[in-house]
Chains A and B, each alone.
Chain A
Amino acid sequence: MKKVLSILSLLLLSIVDFATFAQTQRFPRPEFESGYTQPVTSMPAPRAGIFALVDVLLLIAALSLITWFIHKKRSRTGVVITSLFSLVYFGFLREGCVCSVGSVQNVVLALFNPGYHIPLSALAFFVIPLVYTLFFGRTFCAGVCPLGAVQDVFLLRPVSLKKWLQKVLGLIPWIYLGLAVLYAATGTDFIICRYDPFVGIFRFNATFFMFAIGAAFLLISVFIARPYCRFLCPYGVILNLVSRVSKNHLSITPASCIQCKLCENSCPIDAINKPVEVKQMEDKRSATQRFILLAMIIPALMIIGGWVVSNFHENLAMVNSKVRLANELLHFDADTMKESLEIEGFRTSGKTKEELYLESADILKQFYYGSWILGGFIGLVFGLSLAGLTRYRYREDYEADKGECVSCARCLKYCPVEKA
């Protein structure tokens, strides 16, 4: 009863906060058509800076709290409460921006473009979850990320997917990450933000198409746990890698595992590794041979991948507005075609066609090299995934998969072993 009351009061508080926030946003500063420019205030606008700082402080607080709930209290309820808070604050109040998932692109743009000043809040949102993951596993995914939290709320009847299907779908986030890096590095677009299925829902302003995709993801979330996190999230890929070397990770059993098998099917994302039986240990030699063979195929896959993707570099570059405009201008015939808004805007900008074509050629060249790297990266991921299928690891107990486990703490309540 006490727990229910605390959850209800948190929800009520969040709704009141939401109403207050909505009121403050109702009256934006008027913009005059007459050319009048508003005087610069003698005091700097404090809200924006404070908001950014509050966001970062709340991120740290939420991460610390959820880590404490998972590692010390071993409480699923605590995780749920933090999830609800994150969903309301980072999701609906802050409208899903800045988010750690999108901040990957800010970091990439800053790496490749020295003229870009990355907002410090975006940098903090990228770095802080990684540091926590490095020490405590993916506690950020557990309930601080609003995208994960919204899917977790909808999970009612988890269905287990076939292993091969999970492996195949699990390759998509790598490709998505590669594309996001390519587009951010060339200064083309932030595709993770543009195609975020939940941001439109958080902002109540999604286009019908994006709303349909968001709704589809939520509907799938009812049966398949966290489809976006597992099969699309590019930041999850980075967290997955970092979590593998984490210092402390959620352990299903607080003391010694008694092999009761109660937790075996408790994980909705199948992130529990079962003990490896003795008869499987006998296959170690052939598994090693297969691993070496596959490891030799990896360079070939990288070259093939690079060649294939580089053949599509012009198509990939068409997302860039300058390349698109140059292409449009190249095929524009003033006698037979009507001038588009983009061409009209370009004509009035005073820039010459030659300048635009040169810039476009430069961008195309970047895409050519970038697509070779992207293809090589995809080939590497495919090769390593194949090689990983034959990886042998002796295991005595039921353990959480350090990379895949999002530390949702569902499995903890299945363990009958008390803390020693």
Chain B
Amino acid sequence: MERRDFLRSGMRGLIIAGLTAISGVFVYRNYTTEETCEFTTPCQDCKSLKSCQKPEGLKYKRDQKASNNQ
């Protein structure tokens, strides 16, 4: 194997490992912790929110309704 190829395959391995680790942490966190982040700007400012059927949009609307009812 050439030096360049060796470095490239090493980098590929590192990137794959990094992506797997990050994905694993995020998925684990999603299922084991309570969501506390209040960041809602994308949905809040979206003009299509009223008719939105996307998971994030539905969740935002549900949360908004719940906080309004409190």
- Give chain A's interface residues, CB within 8 Å of chain B: 25, 28, 37, 45, 47-49, 51-52, 95, 97-98, 107, 109-111, 113-123, 127, 130-131, 134, 187-190, 193-194, 203, 205, 242, 245-247, 321
Contact = CB atoms under 8 A, between A and B. Distances in A.
A352 to B, nearest CB: 18
A193 B51 contact: no
Contacts of B54: 48, 51-52, 97-98
B16 A134 contact: yes
Nearest to B37: A116
A109 B26 contact: no
B53 A120 contact: no
A321 B40 CA distance: 12
Interface in B1-57: 8-9, 11-12, 15-16, 19, 22-23, 26-27, 29-30, 33-39, 41-42, 45, 47-48, 50-51, 53-56
A190 B48 CA distance: 16
Contacts of B69: 37
B37 A109 contact: yes
A190 B42 CA distance: 7
What 6 A-B pairs have minimum CB-CB distances, sorted nearest first? A115-B36, A116-B37, A115-B37, A245-B11, A28-B51, A48-B55
B11 A114 contact: no
Contact of B39 (A49, A52, A127, A187): A187
Nearest to B14: A245
A25 B55 contact: no
Given A37-B69, A48-B54, A118-B30, A187 B19 contact: no
Contacts of A119: 55-56
B53 A48 contact: yes
A49 B55 contact: yes
A113 B39 contact: yes
Given A134-B12, A194-B45, A123 B55 contact: no
A114 B53 contact: no
Contacts of A109: 37, 39
B22 A107 contact: yes
Contact of A123 (B23, B39, B51): B23
A97 B57 CA distance: 11
Contacts of A122: 56
A131 B20 CA distance: 10
Contacts of B8: 245, 247
A118 B26 contact: yes
Contact of A130 (B15, B39, B42, B47): B15
Contact of A51 (B27, B36, B55): B55
Given A25-B53, A48-B54, A190-B41, A205 B47 contact: yes
Interface centre among B36, B37, B69 (most CB of A within 10 A): B37
Contacts of A110: 26, 29
Nearest to B34: A115
A131 B16 contact: yes
B30 to A, nearest CB: 5
Contacts of B29: 110, 114, 117
B30 A52 contact: no
B30 A130 contact: no
Given A51-B53, A117-B30, A203-B48, A45 B58 contact: yes
20 contacts: A28-B53, A48-B58, A110-B29, A113-B37, A115-B34, A116-B39, A117-B30, A117-B33, A120-B27, A123-B23, A123-B27, A130-B15, A131-B19, A134-B16, A189-B41, A190-B41, A193-B42, A203-B47, A203-B48, A242-B15
Nearest to A52: B55
A242 B35 CA distance: 31
A49 B56 CA distance: 10
B35 A116 contact: yes
Contacts of B56: 98, 119, 122
B24 to A, nearest CB: 10
Nearest to A97: B54
Given A109-B37, A116-B35, A190-B41, A121 B47 contact: no
Contacts of A188: 41
Contacts of B23: 123, 127
